[in-house]
């Protein structure tokens, strides 16, 4: 999680207000390896950029007209999968996220419990074998096609082990790499587990995500190009985002 995201998350949970004398002890306890000086720098930069406004000495407030960044929830199970994968393949890139993270933006919430663990292609099979030992009641599939997902995992708790596309936009939460909103939006248009998001539902997802969160459209399109979907995502942006 970046300094700006830490500040925003703290403010959002404290009525949109940051009081430095309260924030600093919390930050030192929650992030003992962090730097208070860098946080002070970030606070000043967020004021300059218009994300925060200063309301007094050592007091700040979120601007009500600014959309918040997307910060994923990372469950204990996701943390365990992530760190086990890193132990197995310490030099591999790893990302873990949950498909139902998109449920905040859909009109018809799907009944799904799918964890997605992505890693470098060379490490995927080794990670898959380890995940099978950890997954418990979950079905574990390696690089499933849409047909394989529908036959063996749809409607049941599952873990999908997949190749991580190079230069995927990720976000870090307490050291765990997860999918950024930009990555999720592109994958929703492609991945077999997001069959529910096809058609008009995909437009709803993009429109709601844009209304609720700050989206970096350059990052979105750069990743879409990596997935060979740039033109399709450009059309979605033009139709759904201001």
The tens digit of pLDDT for each residue in 166-223 reads: 999 999 888 899 999 999 999 999 998 888 888 889 999 999 999 888 899 999 999 9
88 and 51 in one domain?
no
Nearest CA-CA partner of 144 in 174, 114, 101: 114
Among 13, 37, 62, identify where a domain stops: 62
Q: 95 pairs with which residues across the strands?
A: 118
**Phi and psi at residue 193, in whole multiples of 5°?**
-70, -10
- 141 & 234 share domain: yes
Instruction: Decide if 183 is inside a domain.
Output: yes
51 located within any domain: yes
pLDDT band at 72 (very low <50, low <70, confident <90, very high): confident
Give the integer Cα–Cα distance in Å for 96 and 176.
8
**Pairing between strand 114-119 and 94-98?**
antiparallel
Number of neighbours of residue 223 by Cβ within 10 angstroms: 23
Instruction: Tell me if 23 sits within 8 A of 9, measured CB to CB.
Output: no
- pTM, two decimals, is 0.80
In a domain, 71, yes or no: no
Query: Are 87 and 152 part of one and the same domain?
Result: yes
Please give the angle made by the CA atoms of 14, 19 and 52, to the nearest 5 degrees. Answer: 80
**83 and 46 assigned to the same domain:** no
From the number of C-beta atoms within 10 Å of its C-beta (0-12, 13-18, 19+), residue 103 rates as: middle
Residue 201 lies in a domain: yes
Q: Are 20 and 105 within one domain?
A: no
Give residue 19's domain range: 3-62
**Does 151 share its domain with 210?**
yes
User: Are 115 and 223 in the same domain?
Assistant: yes
Domain match, 40 and 93 both? no
Q: Do residues 112 and 227 both lie within one domain? A: yes
**Structure token digits, residue 10:** 């703290």
The kind and range of the H/E element at 40 are helix 36-48
Q: Is residue 70 part of a domain?
A: no
Q: Which residues contact 48 (CB under 8 A, 6 or more apart)?
A: none
Q: How confident is the model at residue 1 (pLDDT cuts 50, 70, 90)?
A: low
The pLDDT assigned to 109 comes to: 66
Closest CA to 61 of 12, 17, 5: 17
The pLDDT of residue 37 is above 70? yes
Residue 67: inside a domain: no
């Amino acid at each position: 999680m970046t300094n700006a995201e830490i500040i925003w998350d703290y403010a959002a949970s404290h009525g949109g207000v940051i009081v430095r004398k309260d924030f600093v002890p919390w930050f030192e306890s929650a992030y003992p390896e962090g730097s208070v000086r860098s946080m002070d720098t970030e606070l000043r930069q967020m004021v300059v950029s218009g994300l925060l406004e200063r309301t007094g000495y050592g007091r700040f407030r979120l601007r009500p007209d600014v959309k918040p960044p997307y910060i994923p929830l990372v469950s204990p199970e996701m943390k365990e999968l992530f760190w086990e994968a890193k132990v197995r393949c310490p030099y591999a890139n790893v990302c873990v996220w949950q498909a139902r993270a998109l449920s905040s933006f859909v009109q018809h919430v799907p009944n799904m419990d799918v964890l997605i663990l992505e890693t470098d292609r060379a490490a995927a099979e080794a990670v898959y074998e380890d995940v099978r030992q950890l997954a418990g009641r979950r079905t574990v599939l390696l690089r499933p096609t849409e047909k394989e997902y529908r036959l063996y995992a749809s409607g049941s708790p599952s873990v999908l082990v997949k190749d991580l596309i190079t230069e995927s936009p990720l976000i870090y939460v307490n050291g765990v790499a997860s999918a950024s909103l930009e990555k999720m939006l592109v994958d929703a248009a492609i991945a077999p587990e997001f069959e529910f998001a096809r058609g008009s539902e995909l437009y709803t997802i993009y429109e709601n995500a844009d209304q609720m969160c700050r989206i970096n459209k350059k990052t979105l399109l750069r990743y879409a190009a990596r997935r060979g979907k740039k033109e399709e995502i450009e059309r979605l942006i033009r139709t759904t985002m201001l």
